[in-house]
Amino acid sequence: MKECPLINLIMKFRRKYTITSAVVFALIFLSANIYFVQILFEEKQVHTFKNVRTEVTNSSKERTPKPKKPLVKHGTIIAIEKIKYKLSQLSSRYYRRKSSSYSLIKQLQDDLNETVPISINLLQTADEWATPNQLVPNPAPVLGSLLRTLCTSQIRKAENARKGTQLKLLLTFDSGWQGVFKPQWYERNEVLWGPSYGGKDRHNGEVASFHLSLLLGLPRVPITVGRRLHLPLEILPVADQALHNTFSLNGSSTCLHGVCLYCTPKEPVCGKTLDGKNGGPYLEGALSLWLPSKLLPLKRHRSPWQRTYKPGRAAKWEVDKDYCVKIMQDQENQIFREKLLARSRLLDLIDAAIFDFLIGNGDRHHHETFQPFPNSTVLLIDNGKSFGNPYDDHLDILAPLYQCCIIRRKTWERLQILSGGVLGEALEILLRPSHLSPLLTPPHYVALNRRLLHVYATVENCLDKDQTNVILDLI
Ligand SMILES: Nc1ncnc2c1ncn2[C@@H]1O[C@H](COP(=O)(O)OP(=O)(O)OP(=O)(O)O)[C@@H](O)[C@H]1O
Ligand SMILES: [Mn+2]
């Protein structure tokens, strides 16, 4: 066989440098891996926090929306254009107030009144209320007192809440009751420009979302209140070592940064004075009551409408207008394996999409159900990425609705009761008694009413195509 000079050269080189080259190769391989992992990690961080530009606006003034960059996702562009066109022709009945709205608001207001004295035993009521399909009944007569109890109960233990990626505290009260506390990161009048999943959690959004869920007849959000913690008196003395280690003093302000994926000493949350000035002991946040143990543990499902979280890379659902039909036929998809469950699960996801569109949350990458109850409802846990920008409507959050073109009758009827500006007005009324009131600036209520009109337009588009199979009686 003829000798090849190149192979000869490689063989000579190999013999001479076997060990050295192996070491060099290993080093190159290792550093490439480290670099790759770093990029991945940084990329997620960028999506979560840095893609967002915040600005402060005068809360009482309306602003003109900023021009948006054109979308590169064809299926989404067409669907959104159709919704906008329909909106321009929407029947006047969607702009009128319904007389039934008065009794709905009155009943929810009554529920939120404090009717009985505060007592830790009231938290037991929440456990009794919960079923695999809802967390709060209708009516819920002691809800106001229960909320007040949650925002005043003495804290016996404070630790880092380990689930999830953002800074949260797990607080334990008397008799072992627990809650998750998400701290304040933004002022009420800060506006977050950027993707619908960007920025840090909005604690006021969590509280508003709980109230909105009652208004929409979707009581699947953990019971949540606004609470102001006195860090040196209420948290430091009962903090476990791991949390304690993350406390620091910044001038006269007590700060903490916690332990979580995105927790860093460079980004602590700090206490304020009672009137919201820097340099005080009080930390605002949203406190959610832990879900009832009789229904736990939770089962986590990947959302079929999950985003890629990579700018410039579209998910299947963003480009394929027939995406809904395809996932329904996909027997591998665990959510839709059982036919009957499939329908009600899909209707749950569509309820969730409407809810998320109204609050501006494009970050529902997963959803959870009660694991011991295979038919249980889709819970609306984690509404932190909400109410970030009242001037931007992320219509693609409605994809499950405009692609599947079905909606639960109960949801549709409730949405119609909230027409004519009632939705925003009612939420504002329900949020008034909150410990941290005012929770939202006026433009957010305007946004809710405007977004609701988009939901009407989307359903009308579906009805144009098929009068009989859009509004479904399935519970
Ligand atoms: N009130 C609650 N009761 C029971 N479990 C809860 C409660 N709140 C949150 N959890 C659990 O903790 C998990 C993390 O909470 P959450 O999603 O709010 O945190 P996160 O840090 O924002 O997470 P992510 O980074 O995934 O968005 C939830 O998926 C749920 O399993
Ligand atoms: Mn989250």
Decide if pLDDT at 9 tops 70: no
Mean pLDDT calculated for residue range 74-84: 92
Q: What is the pLDDT of residue 475?
A: 67
**From the CA of 9, how far away is ligand 2's center (Å)?**
57
Report the residue among 49, 159, 160, 163 best suited for mutation to probe ligand 1: largest number of ligand atoms under 8 A from its CB.
Answer: 163
User: Does 17 or 128 have the greater pLDDT score?
Assistant: 128
User: Does 365 or 34 have the greater pLDDT score?
Assistant: 365
For the CA of 48, the closest atom of ligand 1 is: 25
pTM: 0.87
* Main-chain phi, psi angles of 381, to 5 degrees: -90, 145
The ranges assigned to domains in the chain are 69-99+296-472, 100-293
For tokens 């009413």, the residue is 449
Decide if pLDDT at 2 tops 50: no
DSSP summary character for residue 239: B
pLDDT band at 21 (very low <50, low <70, confident <90, very high): low
Q: What is the pLDDT of residue 239?
A: 98
Q: What does the radius of gyration of the chain's CA atoms come to, in whole angstroms?
A: 25
User: Does 331 or 381 have the greater pLDDT score?
Assistant: 381
Q: What is the pLDDT of residue 37?
A: 39
Active-site residues, by number, are 363
For the CA of 167, the closest atom of ligand 1 is: 21
Helices and strands (H, E) in the chain, number of each type: 14, 14
pLDDT band at 110 (very low <50, low <70, confident <90, very high): very high
Rounded CA-CA distance 223/290 in Å is: 8
Q: What share of the chain in percent tops pLDDT 90?
A: 75
Mean pLDDT calculated for residue range 53-61: 55
Decide if pLDDT at 198 tops 70: yes
For the CA of 289, the closest atom of ligand 1 is: 1
Amino acid at 455: V
Q: Whose CA is nearest to atom 23 of ligand 1?
A: 164
Q: Whose CA is nearest to atom 1 of ligand 1?
A: 290
Chain-centre distance for alpha carbon 344 = 21
* Main-chain phi, psi angles of 244, to 5 degrees: -55, -40
Rounded CA-CA distance 7/221 in Å is: 68
Chain-centre distance for alpha carbon 294 = 24
Decide if pLDDT at 336 tops 70: no
**From the CA of 209, how far away is ligand 1's center (Å)?**
15
Task: Write out the two tokens for 191.
Answer: 């506006």
| All residues at 6 or more sequence positions from 85 whose CB lies less than 8 Å from its CB, including other chains | none
Distances (CA, A) of 117 to 122, 174, 268: 9, 17, 36
Query: Is ipTM > 0.95 here?
Result: yes
| All residues at 6 or more sequence positions from 109 whose CB lies less than 8 Å from its CB, including other chains | 429, 430
Decide if pLDDT at 318 tops 80: yes
